[in-house]
């Protein structure tokens, strides 16, 4: 990910609809006991760590700049490490988040990351993964984000299951945003660079409310399309 993306994320993620919906998704499905210990693999600028303050979170990232931003927010328990070789003992965490990590060019083998997550997760612990969906949605923003690949729901679920997890739920999310992304891609409204910016207030509010509704509906159904893949897994006792 380009350095300027980290600064842009830190600037807008608190009020941008996309990040607000992601936080709502995490809060609804990442169900842990109060003060449980969780690991955020690829914690980025620490926004998710901040929103899960009821739990004890450990943030891990390979990018020094991301950790600098987290430290500026006074977030404790931060560590620079490779996600495919986690510096923790077996069964250390009650939950693990992998939000937009496996797709990255820096990840050579996503199966190794998921196997490491399985190793350090406690029995009956939960894993929540989100990754960008569908190769046909690839656009200039993917270049600055260093996107290696995009996933289908079946591909990501198979990877998670292959690492030993029981699949609890899979779905696409941000289904309502798909027409906008297709418009940006095929009409080339953004020819280069990132399309990460804060939209007008009415659009931001509308997309946030639509996203909150979608997350609520995810408790009862799964969506057949969307810009992001969501997989919830559990480590069962053997």
Per residue in 132-148, pLDDT (tens digit) is 999 988 877 777 778 88
Average pLDDT over residues 156-168: 97
Who wins on pLDDT, 183 or 122? 122
Torsion over CA: 72, 73, 77, 81 (sign): negative
| pLDDT score at 194 | 66
Are 233 and 126 in contact by the 8 Å Cβ rule? The answer is: yes
| pLDDT score at 216 | 97
CA dist 131 and 229 (Å) reads 5
| pLDDT score at 178 | 85
Specify whether the backbone of 146 is left (phi greater than 0), alpha (psi in -120 to 50) or beta. left
CA dist 110 and 159 (Å) reads 8
Average pLDDT over residues 199-222: 95
| pLDDT score at 33 | 87
| pLDDT score at 238 | 63
All domains in the chain, ordered by first residue = 3-234 (3.40.50.150)
Average pLDDT over residues 63-92: 94
């Amino acid at each position: 990910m380009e350095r300027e993306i980290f600064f842009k994320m830190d600037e807008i993620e608190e009020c941008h609809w996309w990040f607000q919906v992601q936080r709502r998704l995490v809060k609804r499905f990442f169900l842990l006991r109060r003060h449980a210990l969780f690991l955020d693999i690829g914690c980025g600028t620490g926004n998710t760590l901040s929103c899960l303050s009821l739990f004890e979170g450990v943030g891990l990232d390979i990018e020094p700049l991301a950790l600098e931003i987290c430290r500026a927010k006074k977030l404790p328990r931060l560590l620079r490490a490779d996600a495919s070789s986690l510096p923790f003992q077996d069964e250390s965490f009650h939950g693990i988040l992998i939000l937009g990590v496996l797709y990255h060019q820096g990840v050579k083998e996503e199966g190794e990351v998921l196997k490491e997550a399985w190793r350090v997760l406690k029995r009956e612990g939960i894993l929540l993964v989100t990754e960008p969906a569908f190769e046909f949605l690839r656009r200039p923003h993917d270049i600055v984000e260093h996107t290696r690949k995009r996933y289908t729901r079946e591909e990501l679920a198979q990877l998670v299951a292959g690492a030993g997890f029981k699949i609890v739920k899979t779905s696409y999310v941000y289904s309502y945003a798909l027409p906008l992304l297709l418009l940006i891609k095929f009409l080339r409204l953004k020819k280069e660079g990132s399309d990460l910016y804060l939209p007008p207030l009415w659009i931001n509010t509308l997309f946030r409310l639509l996203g909150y509704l979608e997350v609520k509906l995810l408790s009862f159904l799964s969506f057949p399309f969307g810009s992001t893949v969501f997989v919830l897994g559990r480590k069962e006792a053997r």
